[in-house]
């Protein structure tokens, strides 16, 4: 699919052609026709809202399987903070990492200490002086960067050009293992457990970087049963030691946690894709002038609300808060080390992000104007109740599809009824 790889896909067998997903999609990227939904590639931002809302579980995420890890001689697993919210807090973080290791990995690392590295770099480098237009935006949520690139390209200058904590971890760990174990880089496979499909897109079609150290992503939902079984086997143990955590870094799994661990007072923390879109709209208009930092997540609650998780987002959020408060945090790295990382460019984006052109009615402005005039005429004849029966999310979307030859006026059942009754009257 070239430019438009997507981790959210549709299984035609399960799709009933209902209208839940078309209504929920924040970029109006889904249409239903001939009893099946289809996704318009260039509009999709992989937020996973359709996966969450589909009553038939027809929208699926493309993730890697545990089988895929066997392609590598040395297998590393990365555990994001969101996983810890999936289990009772009494289980203990060590056991959760051990249970992941038992899936077939040689070594397992918690991402929380690497979130701390990101926090330190943001605090001690990017938020110092005038390096970034304010509010500076950094998000562990790949949907945010994608939607800014697609719909708010002017805001790209607010985005901190640094890879995600997952990728920071992958880079440091892989480099270390090459030295420590004498493996070639290609022998080492780094897999991260993922709460969402957007992260998959972020490594298949990366933004800002061309070389990735993360090799695959495994859906937490897919391995949840296996992990629970492993945890039962570990039940008799008092505790499992040998892994590093940071309470401060764990907060990154919930909304607001990122700003909190960076230690910024004047921040905006926004969750839920609709809310995020509203805030970006206001930012683009220049209405928000007094904020230092914006963290935004497509899912409600932050990563704990990911569509590939099992536990209720609010329960998971409370658990992570508790774990963050009861787990010790090592000191943040100093300014000297931060500047060293910046100099080596290890975590910097290497590619300039090009704004992606949002799909307009026509590439030619003149033709687009003509098409919009036509769409307005058609819209006057449509009922304006946005029922979705035609397969488009709104009457306006149908009118625009009609002018672009993707739909017909009779797709609207109200128009069809009118036309038939007129024929009936002769």
Q: Where on the chain is the footprint of another protein (CB under 8 A)?
A: 151-154, 281, 284-287, 355, 357-358, 360-370, 372-373, 376, 400
- Distance of closest approach, residue 372 Cβ to another protein, in angstroms: 5
**Of residues 28 and 187, the one with the C-beta less far from another protein:** 28
- Distance of closest approach, residue 229 Cβ to another protein, in angstroms: 49
**Of residues 89 and 370, the one with the C-beta less far from another protein:** 370
Tokens of 164: 């995600």
Q: How many CA atoms lie within 13 A of 123 on its CB side?
A: 21
- Distance of closest approach, residue 157 Cβ to another protein, in angstroms: 12
121 CB-near residues (< 8 Å, 6+ apart): 162, 338, 341, 342, 347
**Of residues 54 and 395, the one with the C-beta less far from another protein:** 395
- Distance of closest approach, residue 371 Cβ to another protein, in angstroms: 9
Q: Give the number of other Cβ atoms within 10 Å of residue 331's Cβ.
A: 9
- Distance of closest approach, residue 268 Cβ to another protein, in angstroms: 15
**Of residues 27 and 194, the one with the C-beta less far from another protein:** 27
Given a contact cutoff of 8 angstroms between Cβ atoms, the answer to whether 103 and 223 are in contact is yes
Residues 151 and 29: their CA atoms lie apart, in Å, by: 14
**Of residues 35 and 384, the one with the C-beta less far from another protein:** 384
Instruction: List 294's β-bridge partners, or say none.
Output: 137, 268
**Of residues 66 and 353, the one with the C-beta less far from another protein:** 353
Residues 163 and 169: their CA atoms lie apart, in Å, by: 10
- Distance of closest approach, residue 361 Cβ to another protein, in angstroms: 5
114 CB-near residues (< 8 Å, 6+ apart): 165, 166, 168, 169, 172, 249
- Distance of closest approach, residue 285 Cβ to another protein, in angstroms: 6
Given a contact cutoff of 8 angstroms between Cβ atoms, the answer to whether 215 and 190 are in contact is yes
Q: Are strands 8-10 and 59-61 parallel, antiparallel or unpaired?
A: antiparallel
Given a contact cutoff of 8 angstroms between Cβ atoms, the answer to whether 277 and 297 are in contact is no
377 CB-near residues (< 8 Å, 6+ apart): none
- Distance of closest approach, residue 305 Cβ to another protein, in angstroms: 26
- Distance of closest approach, residue 38 Cβ to another protein, in angstroms: 21
**Of residues 40 and 333, the one with the C-beta less far from another protein:** 40
Residues 420 and 120: their CA atoms lie apart, in Å, by: 67
**Of residues 237 and 369, the one with the C-beta less far from another protein:** 369
Q: Which of 277, 159, 272 is nearest to 208 (CA)?
A: 159
Q: Which of 53, 112, 48 is nearest to 83 (CA)?
A: 112
Tokens of 376: 């307005």
Residue with tokens 């672009």: 404
- Distance of closest approach, residue 289 Cβ to another protein, in angstroms: 10
**Of residues 30 and 118, the one with the C-beta less far from another protein:** 30
| Exposure class string for 348-364: b at 16+ Cβ within 10 A, else e | bbeeeeeeeeebebeee
**Of residues 345 and 363, the one with the C-beta less far from another protein:** 363
């Amino acid at each position: 699919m070239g430019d438009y790889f997507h981790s959210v896909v549709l299984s035609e067998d399960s799709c009933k052609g209902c209208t839940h997903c078309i209504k929920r999609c924040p970029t109006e990227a889904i249409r239903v026709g001939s009893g099946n939904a289809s996704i318009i590639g260039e509009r999709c931002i992989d937020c996973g809202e359709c996966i969450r809302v589909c009553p038939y579980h027809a929208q699926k995420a493309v993730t890697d399987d545990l089988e895929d890890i066997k392609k590598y001689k040395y297998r590393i697993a990365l555990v994001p903070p969101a996983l810890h919210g999936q289990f009772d807090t009494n289980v203990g973080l060590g056991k959760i990492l051990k249970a992941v290791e038992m899936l077939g990995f040689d070594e397992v690392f918690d991402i929380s200490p690497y979130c701390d590295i990101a926090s330190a770099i943001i605090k001690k480098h990017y938020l110092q002086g005038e390096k970034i237009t304010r509010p500076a935006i950094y998000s562990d949520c790949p949907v945010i960067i994608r939607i800014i690139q697609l719909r708010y390209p002017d805001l790209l200058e607010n985005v901190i050009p640094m890879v995600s904590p997952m990728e920071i971890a992958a880079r440091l760990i892989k480099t270390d293992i090459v030295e420590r174990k004498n493996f070639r880089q290609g022998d080492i496979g780094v897999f991260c457990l993922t709460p969402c499909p957007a992260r998959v897109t972020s490594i298949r079609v990366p933004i800002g970087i061309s070389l990735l150290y993360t090799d695959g992503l495994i859906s937490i939902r897919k391995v949840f049963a296996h992990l629970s079984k492993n945890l039962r086997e570990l039940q008799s143990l008092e505790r499992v030691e040998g892994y590093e955590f940071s309470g401060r870094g764990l907060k990154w799994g919930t909304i607001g946690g990122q700003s909190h661990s960076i230690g910024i007072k004047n921040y905006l923390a926004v969750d839920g894709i609709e809310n995020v879109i509203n805030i970006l709209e206001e930012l683009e208009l220049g209405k928000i002038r007094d904020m230092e930092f914006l963290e935004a997540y497509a899912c409600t609650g932050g990563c704990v609300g990911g569509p590939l998780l099992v536990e209720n987002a609010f329960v998971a959020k409370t658990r992570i808060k508790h774990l963050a408060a009861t787990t010790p945090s090592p000191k943040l790295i100093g300014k000297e080390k931060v500047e060293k990382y910046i100099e080596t460019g290890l975590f910097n984006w290497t590619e300039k992000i090009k704004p992606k052109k949002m799909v307009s009615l026509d590439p030619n402005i003149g033709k687009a104007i003509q098409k919009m005039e036509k769409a307005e005429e058609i819209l006057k004849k449509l009922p304006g109740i946005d029922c979705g029966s035609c397969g488009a999310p709104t009457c306006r979307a149908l009118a625009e599809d009609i002018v672009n030859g993707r739909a017909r006026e009779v797709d609207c059942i109200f128009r069809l009824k009118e036309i038939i009754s007129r024929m009936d009257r002769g």
